[in-house]
A and B are shown apart, each in its own frame.
Chain A
Amino acid sequence: MRRRRVQATAELDLIPVLSLVVHLVPMLLLSVRFMTLAEHPVDRAPVEATEAPSREKLEAQEEERVIVRITATGFAVRGAGDGEAQIACTGGCGPGDYDYRALGDAMVAAKGLHPRVQQVIVAPDPGVPYAVIIGVMDATRSRRAGDREEPLFPQPVLVTGSGELRP
């Protein structure tokens, strides 16, 4: 009588491993926070407002200009020929206490007065933190209305001093 050969096969039981992995992957994914980096382009080096004005700067005096001063107490928004709008901090004037929403409203009004102007002069006081400058650039660059984004003043120029180019 011929003996039948039986081939023994062993299969790994991967179910517990798979179960472990299925639990580990969501746990690790939950501990991850993805960070999105973006940029604010500024295509002009900072202007020294206290230096003697060049011919170009003197010519620029005749142009319409919108200036945002950032002080220790809030914002001051000025356009050529307009009055000055003072926007006080909402609290103790920490970086989160500046009223960016009111600044956005003021910039919409300034855009209405100066529809052709693309440039905004941003003049921070020396002690103003960088976060506030970025907040001002956010508020002056564009305004979101629903799903639409309306451009306001997309070309910021940073100025050291009061924002007045006259000496």
Chain B
Amino acid sequence: MMDMFTIILVFLLVFFDPEARPDPEFQLPSSVATQQVAEGTTLRVRRDAIEVNGQSVLPLVDGELGNAARDGRRVLAVLGALEAARAQVPGGELPLMVECDQAVPWSTLGDLLATAAGAGFQSYRFVVLGGADGPIPPAGAAPGQVF
């Protein structure tokens, strides 16, 4: 029993961060969705930046694209990063996993989805905090520790 408790304690202590705070620039919306998250190329839209597979590719100001270089609706920096990410996937068939801050406006997200379509992603998945009880009032990302 002592061994068991020691293992649990070490596990919890490793992940325990007493200063953990919700990131004000990135809070996923809540949803009643229960479908498990699949594997795919990740497009993360923070309020202050856009990341593709964890790499920051473009800064944003309060979720707005501002004067980012474009070709029509396509945002060039994001287009290049998504094309490169898609080229690394054998067959290029994985969906695009969109992790977007809940306050980002459709004007930004719509242009990014159009950019993703230009890079060859024809289906995408919106990643949300699942298991909400009903039609949402949006909630902040879970505070505390996340495993």
- When C-beta atoms are compared, the residue in chain A nearest to B100 turns out to be A130
Main secondary structure of the interface of A (DSSP, over half): mixed
Interface status of A36 (Cβ within 8 A of chain B): yes
Interface residues of B in 19-39 (CB under 8 A from A): 28-38
Q: A25-B12, A31-B145 are in contact. Are A39 and B103 (CB under 8 A)?
A: no
- When C-beta atoms are compared, the residue in chain B nearest to A161 turns out to be B110
Bound Cα distance from A141 to B45, whole angstroms: 24
> Which residues on the B side are within 8 Å of A151 (C-beta)?
none
> Which residues on the B side are within 8 Å of A32 (C-beta)?
12, 15, 144-145, 147
Main secondary structure of the interface of B (DSSP, over half): loop
> Which residues on the A side are within 8 Å of B15 (C-beta)?
32
Interface status of A58 (Cβ within 8 A of chain B): no
Interface status of B107 (Cβ within 8 A of chain A): yes
Bound Cα distance from A128 to B138, whole angstroms: 13
Q: Digit string of B114-147 for contact with A (CB within 8 Å is 1, else 0)?
A: 1011000111111111111011111001111111
Interface status of A153 (Cβ within 8 A of chain B): no
Interface status of A43 (Cβ within 8 A of chain B): yes
Number of chain A interface residues as a range = 35 or more
The count of A-to-B residue pairs whose CB atoms sit within 8 angstroms is 186
Bound Cα distance from A94 to B125, whole angstroms: 25
Q: Is the CB of B130 within 8 A of A37?
A: yes
Interface status of B61 (Cβ within 8 A of chain A): no
Q: Digit string of B27-67 for contact with A (CB within 8 Å is 1, else 0)?
A: 01111111111100000010000000000000000000000
Bound Cα distance from A37 to B143, whole angstroms: 14
Bound Cα distance from A129 to B29, whole angstroms: 10
> Which residues on the B side are within 8 Å of A14 (C-beta)?
2
Interface residues of A in 122-150 (CB under 8 A from B): 124-135, 137-139, 141-142, 144
> Which residues on the B side are within 8 Å of A6 (C-beta)?
none
> Which residues on the A side are within 8 Å of B76 (C-beta)?
none
> Which residues on the A side are within 8 Å of B6 (C-beta)?
21
Q: Is the CB of A40 within 8 A of B5?
A: no
Q: A17-B2, A33-B142 are in contact. Are A39 and B125 (CB under 8 A)?
A: yes
Q: How far is the CB of A144 from chain B (nearest CB, A)?
A: 7
13 pairs across A/B with beta carbons < 8 Å? A18-B5, A22-B5, A33-B146, A34-B147, A39-B38, A41-B123, A43-B122, A45-B116, A45-B124, A101-B135, A130-B101, A134-B128, A138-B136
Chain A interface (Cβ < 8 Å from any Cβ of B): 14, 17-18, 21-22, 24-25, 28-29, 31-46, 48, 70, 95-96, 100-101, 103-104, 124-135, 137-139, 141-142, 144, 158, 160
